[in-house]
Amino acid sequence: MPSKTIWLVALIFSLVPAARCAAQWRDDFESGATRWRLWRDDAGSRVVQNQRTQTVPHSGNASEMIEVTSGLQGTYIHLVYPLNERLAVIDELQCSFWVRSAVSGLRPALRVVFPRTAHPATHEPLTTLLFGIPSTGGGAWSQLEVRNSVELLDAQHRVLKAQYGPTVDLREAYVDAVVLDVYNGPGNTKLQIDDLSIDGIVPVETNRSQRPDVLASVGSAEPDQELSETIAARARDLRASVPRWFQYRGESLDWLASIGINGLIVDQAPPVQLLNEAARLRLAVIAPPPALLPSELELPAWEAIQGWSLGWALDHSHLEAARESTIRLNRLPNALRKPTLVEPMEAYGPYARLADLVAVPVPLPTTIRDHDEAELLLKQEVQNLRGRTLPITSLMLEPIATWRQQRDSIAQAIGSNAGMIQAYDLGQARLQLLRSIGHGARGWYFRSLSPLDSDDQSNQARIESLQALNAEIRLLSPWLQSGEPATKIAVDVKTGYVGYRIAMPRSQLIMLLVRGDSDQLVVPSTNLPMLSVKLARTQQTAQIYRISRGRLESLVAKPSPDGWNVEIPNPSTTELLVATEDPRAIRYLQTTLAEISPQITESRIAIANQSLQLAQMTLVAEQVAERDPAWAQVRLSESSLRGAEQFLTRGDAIRAVANADAAASMADQVIHQSWHRARIRFSSTNSSPLIASRLSLPLHWELDRIIRNRTWEPRPVPQGDCEDLNRMVAEGWTIDRRLEDRVQSQASIASEAGPDRSGALQIDASSIDRNPIPGGYAGASLHMSSPKIDVPNQSLVHCEGLVRVIGGGIDPQAGLLVYDEEGGPALGQLISPQTGDASTWQHINLYRFQTQPDGVRMHLEIRGATRVLIDQLRVEYLMPSSQSSFQTRPIATDAGQ
């Protein structure tokens, strides 16, 4: 026992009546051996150092310092402080101690032992933890406390009954240790602990005879029979119909149900009237946990709530709050115990251990390079879920807000009607959903930032698209609900297609999707007369049906030693096939296709109509000569679209869809060629917001024509020559860091490292514990921001510079992200080993329309394990209106091409 520790129980017991005998115990960590030890973890952890230190104690002259390192995956690291007495769990029992650490969210707990029950795996007495108030971090001392022990134990009692069965014996529980959960993600966590005290100390032997009421209430609470099975069943029910959940913005529930929505995500506690309407329409409601319990009159309506949301778009900093929410939810009455859902941006493993269902966001199109990268990222995130059910996938139903603001502002500035094009890409939306199926999605949460029934011109397109997507999900639901993973099938790379297969015992769903360069931004096209694929043989599934045209079409399948060779005439951008001889599957497809065929046909005609209109406007804006073959392609597309509309009026869905797909493909080819002519002038697809989507391509060509042969006006960037870091900071540059316990990041000046042998800014990020640093937002460790650079409002601004990547990993999202406030991170330029080799200086090029009066600021953000050099940062501007007197040159001719 430490020399300065005062144990008062014996003395107080002799002076105070036994019925209220309670004492205090304190440890000030001034001398003696170290107390804290690693108890258990799931993060591959070890204690790096554990010692007494005189550095900044909370009080006195010393404290205990501990440093723990952990691996990439995990959810908890428990340090334990054993007690010399077994303490009864009474109302007065509480514990507090002080912790100093740079990280926040370190959680204190009391370890409770149940001596009458053995753990089924270890055969040791069953234990649980009563968690208290976590630390605030920031390098200052913060007090951690565990209070309300009886209430916390009562909540854990219900959880343990649900986990181990109603017959588990939880009587005579006692506290035998203080515990601290120090998990904060991969890497090192360093902390100091001081001044631990425990109040309300009563040994269990005394409490057993004097406080039978407490023991009785803890040991014989009403059992929650089969509660865990009930919650698991409810979670299965949420997935049973393939989730098609919508971010509710006040729309009519009858109308949402009519377009195929089967669940609502609400941002606040829903009123009883909404719940009654949802119950009538059999719509699942996902809501935040209640702040106040419903009254007995309201409780029946709350049955419509089928899940509690722990939050959306959460990062690692929200993890502690999510844990606290799960604790509060465990205290709800059985009738309100629901499955939990969460949508994280990172830390998928820890969140998956908290929630029953996890929504994984599909990457925004501007943050990835192509379909292959989207597949890699989504599959990595799914793998992080560690065997949980396949994720719900969240899809954004609207374009990036910064892109739309840039497009609309530029159109208004130059007096263009190109901004009237609806800001929703119908063809890309369908491709994105089908790709997500191939990447592992088995349910969807459709995000919507504005009401779907508002007057915005793009909303009608969103409505029609959502209705058609839900119809196709319904068609494919038997394969989506099978739980089988999607696997890639071999498709000749020369065809330009990628293939996926979902196999069931007596059928296969085959998806063939066209692919290409930057296919997440511009819908690829195809002009193949025949697409040949080889399908694996499964039992007796020899009959192949094409279902992508709204009807069941039989295809010829030629047997081969290892499968079936199938030929698809005049393939469209997406082809859906089913291989089966099961009569039930055939009847299902016939019945469902007959019901949804009108929606599919009208949707494909709408896709073709949008592509044709966009192709025409693009050629006009680019001023393509009438004799150019692209105009002949447009005329063929027009003719095919007219044919589709005529076949629709005759009720011939197959030929209507075939003509619509042909029209769309021809128009997409024209758009694709024009987009590549525009793209070649820029160093990145995000250099200009007008090429970050094909929907703004006509506006790009109009702007290019207006500013041609004009001169850009330079604006100095403070210390943009990157020669002196101290002067950069003095001039207003800021440096912010995160992940400091896991990532060593620094900025410095490398002498003679620039392209002209001058100095260059060097930014490094490396792992402290040799665990890999993820790319993307999860691995952003150092952020530099320039001071405001004065440019006129309503001007076109060009930010440029040079970057050389001299070290980095293979993560596709690792590198240097450069952006500004107008475009934001989603329209930033990521410079990485994938965009150039280590010997090459790559160009920063960001063209933005300035909508703020206080100037532009450049942001440099390092992501993942990377080392980069940065030099020659510059800014220039011009006024883009057609009445401007400035002389300018064509846009982006300095992009280093």
pLDDT, tens only, 842-863 = 999 999 999 988 899 999 999 9
Q: What is the DSSP string of 688-750?
A: SGGGSSGGGHHHHHHHHHHHTTB-PEEEPPTTTT---HHHHHHTT-EEEE--TTTEEEEEEEE
Question: How much of the chain exceeds pLDDT 70, in percent?
Answer: 88
Q: How confident is the model at residue 223 (pLDDT cuts 50, 70, 90)?
A: very low
Where do the DSSP E strands lie in 345-443?
357-361, 392-396
Instruction: Write down the pLDDT at residue 73.
Output: 65
Measured between alpha carbons, how far is 816 from 866 in angstroms, rounded to an integer? Answer: 8
pLDDT in tens, 770-784: 778 888 888 889 999
pLDDT (average), residues 11-29? 52
pLDDT in tens, 434-467: 999 998 888 899 998 888 887 777 788 889 899 9
pLDDT (average), residues 808-837? 89
- Indicate whether 218 pLDDT > 50: no
- Cα–Cα separations (whole angstroms), residue 358 to 131, 309, 324, 337, 343: 24, 10, 17, 18, 6
DSSP state of 91: T
pLDDT (average), residues 89-101? 90
Measured between alpha carbons, how far is 609 from 427 in angstroms, rounded to an integer? Answer: 10
- Indicate whether 216 pLDDT > 70: no
pLDDT in tens, 350-407: 787 788 888 888 888 888 888 788 887 777 676 556 445 556 888 888 888 899 999 9
- Indicate whether 805 pLDDT > 90: yes
Amino acid letter, 892: A
User: 202, 10, 213: which is closest to 88 by C-alpha?
Assistant: 202
pLDDT (average), residues 783-807? 94
Name, in order, each residue with C-beta under 8 angstroms of 123's C-beta and a sequence gap of 6 or more: none
Q: How confident is the model at residue 205 (pLDDT cuts 50, 70, 90)?
A: low
Structure tokens at 363: 């990457």
Pairing of strands 713-715, 734-737: unpaired
Where do the DSSP E strands lie in 157-256?
174-181, 187-201, 244-247
**Site of tokens 């440029």:** 800
Measured between alpha carbons, how far is 350 from 381 in angstroms, rounded to an integer? Answer: 12
pLDDT (average), residues 330-347? 83
Measured between alpha carbons, how far is 544 from 297 in angstroms, rounded to an integer? Answer: 55
Sheet holding 829-831, edge to edge: 734-737, 780-785, 859-863, 815-819, 829-831
Instruction: Write down the pLDDT at residue 177.
Output: 94
pLDDT (average), residues 817-830? 94
Instruction: Write down the pLDDT at residue 480.
Output: 87
Q: How confident is the model at residue 70 (pLDDT cuts 50, 70, 90)?
A: confident
Q: Which residues pair with 487 in a beta bridge?
A: 501
Q: Compute the CA torsion angle 706, 707, 709, 714 (nearest 10 deg).
A: 170
Q: How confident is the model at residue 419 (pLDDT cuts 50, 70, 90)?
A: confident
pLDDT in tens, 651-670: 898 999 999 999 999 999 99
Question: How much of the chain exceeds pLDDT 90, in percent?
Answer: 46
What element of type H or E holds 109? Answer: strand 107-118
pTM: 0.72
